[in-house]
């Protein structure tokens, strides 16, 4: 059969096709996505699930004049392929290639950047109201949002406002009962009842003044085209409810939707995942957290765990399986997660609130107002701290030290390795006088034998990893292991000293004063923002005690770091081993 996709480069190319041809295009588009992602990796299931919807939207609407927002953006691969990026799609998420999420700077067809969820309705309403003010009354505005994302507070804020306007917006609810993990909450139950015809007579979206259509089959292309053409003519806020299957078209992805959200490399014919090495490897930090939490919770009945929609990604799933009544997935609701944790802490529970570093930014007020001001000993476990690789600037957890260090009452800890992570978790659940943020990176640690018995740590204590007499290297977190390798490679005997500061707040003031008095030249290294980070804290301390020394800070520069393999991003940021090595060699 003659290929259709090879002749489609922009949405206008779709307009010449007959509706019956679109179904063949859907087959080809699915195959194209599977071909590339099976080799290059990336998000898979979400984009496979919206292939028909993607084609129908670009077929009916006049993008990019009509504004189309994808929420969350990992479902937008088909959109990217149909909007001028087909020939470079194999660079998706690669260093120097296209972004894995919609990005305004990348294409005029990407109406809004969406790396975090639940922003589309607010942004879209802003565009629609701006269009009214500027007399662009014919312009259409469409948001595609999942059932997990629409349950977030911000999405409801957008719906609530949109319902009292006559803004020309269409919200397409892509209902597949999945986020990354299965959707949770009362709204999910309501949508299930809508699908089965057992919902109460009142429709929640109609009550919010939306013209509601659905639920419709999101894989029925002729019907989708027909409904979108009809809705295009209706003024005011509208909602089209479509039912889709995440991973549609690849059997393994349909059967195991959590794994195939972002499966890594796989066989494009069978869907079988590429086999992992049988060699013993250090564990992922998230698994150290998850397994240690269960170990502690089985002995301490006051321990509870909370995650906003990331039980698999955070490994809270281990506690949800072992002690389900004490582990809570609250959905995509970071603000709620933090204040829920605060409420539990008031009643004496030991709360481990696990949120990705980049997502805690969404609950900053709650961290300050509901936890820190009231000095409630919530234990924040910040997964994916530092540079996270291919997900790029929306997901890098590089600001947490800076935005948390200025908050009174809050302790900050960054473990050097898996054993330090276990020890701080053990220490925290024994009882702290203050809340604490424990930050650790994505991916594996560096210890095979990590399940040692746990020890209580002294709050605010650093340690000497290597004595020296010329240069002092101060590190916090796992990047300290890179510094140890560097010092061994330089082989300068006693020239270089190395100190580990797992407590960024409070700093070990006694140890730091000794270092500042002994060494003329001090280097700090961190995988967070250089502005306001660990190095800044050392500089502040030196200034406050009146010591004037050369303190060189290696941290993330004042820029949003792109996507790509982590080692390339370290080099781009100037915090890789060779950059530090060159600096040290020049000094020596």
Q: Which residues are catalytic?
A: 246, 334, 362
Among 408, 398, 397, which Cα is nearest to 368's?
Answer: 408
Q: Are strands 496-500 and 327-329 parallel, antiparallel or unpaired?
A: unpaired
| Length in residues, the chain | 588
- Other C-beta atoms closer than 10 Å to the C-beta of 271 total 20
- Rounded distance, CA 350 to CA 521, Å? 42
How is residue 537 written in tokens? 């804290």
- Contact residues for 579 (Cβ-Cβ < 8 A; gap 6+): 554, 571
Region of 308 (left: φ > 0; alpha: ψ -120 to 50; beta: rest) is beta
How is residue 91 written in tokens? 């660079």
- Other C-beta atoms closer than 10 Å to the C-beta of 229 total 13
427: helix, strand or coil:
helix
> Which residue, chain included where needed, has tokens 């639940």?
118
- Contact residues for 535 (Cβ-Cβ < 8 A; gap 6+): 524, 525, 526, 551, 553, 554, 555
Signed CA dihedral, 88, 91, 93, 96: sign only: negative
How is residue 380 written in tokens? 């924040």
Among 358, 252, 367, 255, which Cα is nearest to 314's?
Answer: 358
How is residue 327 written in tokens? 């582990």
Angle made by CA atoms 333, 334, 336, in degrees to the nearest 5: 70
- Rounded distance, CA 354 to CA 175, Å? 26
How is residue 373 written in tokens? 């001001």
Q: In Å, how far from its chain's centre is CA 79?
A: 21
- Rounded distance, CA 336 to CA 355, Å? 12
Contact 113, 147 (CB under 8 A): no
Contact 120, 172 (CB under 8 A): no
């Amino acid at each position: 059969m003659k290929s259709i996709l090879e002749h489609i480069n922009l949405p206008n190319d779709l307009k010449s096709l007959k509706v019956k041809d679109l179904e063949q295009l859907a087959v080809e588009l699915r195959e194209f996505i599977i071909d590339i992602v099976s080799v290059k990796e990336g998000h898979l299931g979400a984009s496979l699930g919206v292939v028909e919807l993607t084609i129908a939207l670009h077929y009916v609407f006049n993008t990019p004049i009509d504004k189309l927002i994808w929420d969350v953006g990992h479902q937008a691969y088909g959109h990217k392929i149909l909007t001028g990026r087909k020939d470079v799609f194999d660079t998706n998420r690669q260093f120097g290639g296209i972004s894995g999420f919609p990005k305004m700077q990348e294409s005029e067809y990407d109406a809004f950047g969406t790396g975090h969820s639940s922003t589309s309705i607010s942004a879209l309403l802003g565009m629609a109201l701006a269009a009214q003010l500027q007399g662009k009354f014919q312009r259409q505005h469409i948001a595609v949002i999942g059932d997990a994302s629409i349950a977030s507070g911000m999405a409801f804020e957008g719906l609530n406002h949109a319902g009292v306007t006559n803004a020309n917006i269409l919200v397409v609810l892509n209902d597949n009962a999945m986020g990354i993990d299965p959707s949770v909450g009362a709204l999910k139950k309501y949508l299930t009842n809508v699908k089965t015809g057992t919902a109460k007579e009142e429709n929640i979206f109609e009550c919010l003044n939306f013209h509601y259509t659905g639920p419709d089959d999101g894989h029925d292309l002729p019907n989708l085209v027909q409904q979108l053409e009809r809705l295009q003519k209706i003024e005011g806020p509208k909602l089209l409810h479509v039912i889709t299957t995440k991973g549609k078209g690849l059997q393994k992805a349909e059967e195991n939707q959590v794994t195939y959200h972002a499966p890594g490399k796989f066989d494009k014919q069978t869907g079988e995942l590429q086999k992992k090495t049988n060699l013993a490897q250090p564990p992922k930090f998230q698994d150290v957290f998850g397994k240690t939490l269960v170990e502690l919770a089985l002995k301490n009945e006051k321990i509870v765990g909370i995650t906003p929609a990331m039980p698999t990604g955070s490994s809270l799933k281990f506690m949800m399986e072992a002690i389900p009544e004490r582990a809570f997935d609250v959905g995509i609701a970071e603000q709620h997660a933090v204040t829920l944790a605060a409420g539990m802490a008031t009643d004496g529970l030991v709360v481990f609130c696990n949120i990705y570093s980049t997502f805690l930014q969404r609950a900053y007020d709650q961290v300050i107002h509901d936890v820190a001001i009231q000095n409630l000993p919530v234990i924040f476990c910040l997964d994916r701290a530092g540079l996270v690789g291919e997900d790029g600037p929306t997901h890098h957890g590089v600001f947490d030290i800076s935005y948390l260090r200025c908050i009174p009452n809050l302790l900050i800890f960054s473990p050097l390795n898996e054993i330090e992570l276990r020890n701080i978790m053990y220490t925290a659940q024994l009882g702290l006088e203050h809340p604490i943020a424990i930050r650790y990176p994505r991916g594996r640690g560096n210890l095979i034998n990590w399940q040692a018995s746990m020890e209580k740590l002294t709050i605010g204590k650093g340690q000497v990893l290597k004595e020296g007499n010329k240069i002092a290297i101060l590190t916090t977190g796992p990047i300290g292991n890179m510094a140890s390798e560097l010092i061994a490679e330089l082989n300068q005997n006693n020239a270089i000293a190395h100190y580990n500061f797992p407590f960024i707040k409070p700093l070990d003031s006694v140890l730091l004063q000794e270092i500042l008095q002994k060494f003329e030249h001090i280097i700090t290294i961190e995988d967070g923002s250089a502005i306001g980070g660990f190095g800044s804290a050392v500089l502040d301390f030196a200034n406050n005690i009146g010591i004037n020394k050369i303190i060189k800070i290696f941290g993330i520069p004042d820029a949003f770091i792109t996507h790509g393999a982590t080692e390339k991003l370290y080099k781009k940021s100037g915090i890789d081993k060779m950059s530090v090595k060159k600096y040290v060699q020049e000094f020596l």
